[in-house]
Copies of this chain bind each other. A is one copy, B any other.
Amino acid sequence: MILLTRRYKFSASHRLHAAHLGHEENRELYGKCNNPFGHGHDYTIEVSVAGEMNEQTGKVIRVEVLDRLMQERVLSAFDHKNLNAEVPEFMATPPTTENLALEIRKRLKAHWKSAFPEVSPVLRRVRIYETKRNIFEISEHL
């Protein structure tokens, strides 16, 4: 088994606000990230895929397939967007980086098998760098 990790980037704006909490609690919980006008980040995503190497080609997967999946299901929906206003899943749920990681994994899983019909690679990990200092990942098996 070989683990292949590929890195993507997107830029987006968001506001952290929990619908069930009051104004003061939101301010206390999220600090300046609760600013009602929003702010933004340049996110880096790493997607890690484990699989057997094809002896003939020397490759685990065709990276173009993963790129297309990420482009169609994740990047086109998130890049240069306002996450709260333009991504339906974040209209009621705060777009914390934890929730972003969960949502990206969910979107990849939903289309994983149809993207890789012949080989059976495993989506091992989704990792997001919110900034260089704040990194979130989900690594349980699918």
Contact indicator B35/A80 (Cβ below 8 Å): yes
How many residues on chain A are close to B (CB under 8 Å)? 61
Max chain B C-beta neighbours (<10 A), residue from A8, A64, A102, A133: A133
Identify which of residues 56-110 in chain A touch chain B, using a CB-to-CB cut-off of 8 Å. 56-60, 62-64, 79-82, 85-86, 93-96, 98-99, 101-102
Given that A2-B136, A137-B2 are contacting pairs, would A13 and B82 also be in contact in the complex, using a CB cutoff of 8 Å? yes
Q: In this assembly, does A114 line the interface, its C-beta being within 8 Å of a C-beta of chain B?
A: no
Q: Are B3 and A37 in contact (CB under 8 A)?
A: no
Q: Is A41 at the interface (CB under 8 A from chain B)?
A: yes
Q: Given A39-B11, A80-B39, A134-B63, decide whether A96 and B58 contact each other with a Cβ distance below 8 A.
A: yes
Listed in ascending order, the chain A residues whose CB lies under 8 Å from chain B are: 1-8, 11-14, 16, 18, 20-21, 29, 31-33, 35, 37-42, 46, 53, 56-60, 62-64, 79-82, 85-86, 93-96, 98-99, 101-102, 131-140
> Can you spell out 25 A-B residue pairs with CB atoms less than 8 angstroms apart?
A1-B138, A2-B101, A2-B102, A2-B137, A3-B136, A4-B135, A5-B136, A6-B135, A7-B133, A7-B135, A13-B37, A13-B38, A13-B40, A13-B82, A18-B56, A29-B62, A35-B82, A38-B82, A39-B79, A40-B40, A42-B42, A46-B135, A57-B96, A58-B96, A63-B134
